[in-house]
Amino acid sequence: MTDNLAISIHNVSVKYKLIHERSLTLKEAAVNLLKGKRDKFEYLWALKGINMSVKKGETVGIIGSNGSGKSTLLKVIAKIIEPSDGTIKHNGILSAMIELGAGFNPELTGEENIYLNGAILGLSKSTIRRKFGEIVEFAELEKFIDIPVKNYSSGMYMRLGFALSTAVDPDILIIDEILAVGDESFQRKCFRKINEFKQKGKTIIIVSHDLNSIVRMCDKAYLIRDGNLISEGYPHDVIHFYRSLISKGEIDISNIPSRQGSGDVRIKDVKFYNSSGIETDSFNTGDMLRVRIEYYASKKIDKPVFGVAIHSEGGAHINGPNTKLYGLDIDFIQGEGALEYTIHSLTLLEGGYYFTVAIFDYTCTQPYDYWDKCLKFNVSNGNIKERYGIFYMPSEWKKI
């Protein structure tokens, strides 16, 4: 393993034994043994010959549908499970955010769990004592640190787990989809912390279904399908390939989070552009935002309706226009095609916003393909001085 590598993964495979019928009692097991009857089982290869090299200071994303093997790969890297074959080498201290707070003892207080789990993570007692205030402040648990964590909400549990994991100050940070949960302020705090780690030259590995976050944060991406590593490279290119597999039906649509529909029409790709025609997911209040929706119809579809929706990070439904309401009647579609939706002046204030794209039948009751909040774009205020709320409404103040 060379000095510039943080992680080296060579020919790693993981095999699980799935038992379909098992003897429930000792007597039953003895009788089955005498009869020559054995438990019925099969082997499942969760990972198959994975090879990866992650450089020091790189931020890499791992994507794929549910059940593809992403989380198994992270657990192998974190040494939570041992590979059936192959080798993994680390170069530096590693901290894994896979199941935040999974090791907490519910009967112990928050403070006691910090000391216990901090020791498990490799922190000395003096280090924990020195960082204790920082951990509690980040987790926002000053008033609750002396009560048993069994009385914590899931959000409190998560905040404490994240604060403790990052307090280790690792060389390698592993994150498994934990940023998809929690309230808006906690998510922003997590992203700020991750950006701090990036600026310090830490190595970060992220598994996420938020593909826009992968593009925005990662230097490289890997695509896992059925336990195989099938694509690697620049995040935008890997994600484009991933979506092309989805549109061709080579990846089961039911395994894509927040996606549903008959599949007679499949959304191939959705891209955001600014007024200069540059693809981006970052805009300022007042900017033009153009959305290009590429699709493939496997057969002739009469009178389809294309629609979009925008939600705030807090879940507020901001708008939901479609071609039918706009008065754009589409006679039919067949094969490949594209549609554009343009917001001429983006009146949203600073924040992150989730974007939904859907294709329905003319009654708007049967979806062909529905990507629910699967995309995200970000808005900065730019020269706008307003800071509160969601919308910017041009106005003036006058003393009379």
Question: What six digits make up the tokens of 235?
Answer: 């995040």
Distances in Å between the Cα of 397 and the Cα atoms of 198, 302, 394, 400 are 43, 51, 11, 10
Per-residue pLDDT of the chain in tens (400 residues, 90 and over written 9): 677 899 999 999 999 876 655 555 666 666 566 666 665 667 788 999 999 999 999 999 999 888 889 989 999 998 888 999 999 999 988 888 776 556 788 899 999 999 998 888 788 899 999 999 999 998 889 999 999 998 988 778 878 888 888 888 889 998 886 655 456 677 778 888 888 889 999 999 998 877 777 887 899 999 999 999 999 999 888 888 887 777 666 776 555 556 678 888 988 889 999 999 999 989 999 999 999 999 999 899 999 999 999 998 777 889 999 999 999 999 999 999 999 999 999 999 988 888 999 999 999 888 999 888 878 888 988 888 887 888 898 888 899 9
* Rounded-to-integer distance, Cα 323 and Cα 321, Å: 7
pTM: 0.66
Q: Are 217 and 187 in contact (CB under 8 A)?
A: no
Contacts of residue 360, defined as CB under 8 A and 6 or more positions apart, other chains included, come to: 304, 305, 307, 322, 366, 367, 368, 370
Sign of the torsion angle spanned by Cα atoms 315, 319, 324, 329:
negative
Query: Which uninterrupted H or E stretch holds 337?
Result: strand 332-343
Other C-beta atoms closer than 10 Å to the C-beta of 51 total 12
The closest alpha carbon to 252, from 266, 238, 272, belongs to: 266
Measured in degrees and rounded to the nearest 5, phi and psi for residue 154 equal -60, -35
* CB atoms near residue 103 (< 10 Å): 13
Angle made by CA atoms 278, 281, 283, in degrees to the nearest 5: 85
Q: What sections of the chain are H helices per DSSP?
A: 26-34, 70-77, 110-120, 125-139, 154-167, 184-199, 211-217, 235-247, 323-326
Structure token pair of residue 81: 């499970």
Nearest C-alpha neighbor of 3 from the set 76, 92, 77? 92
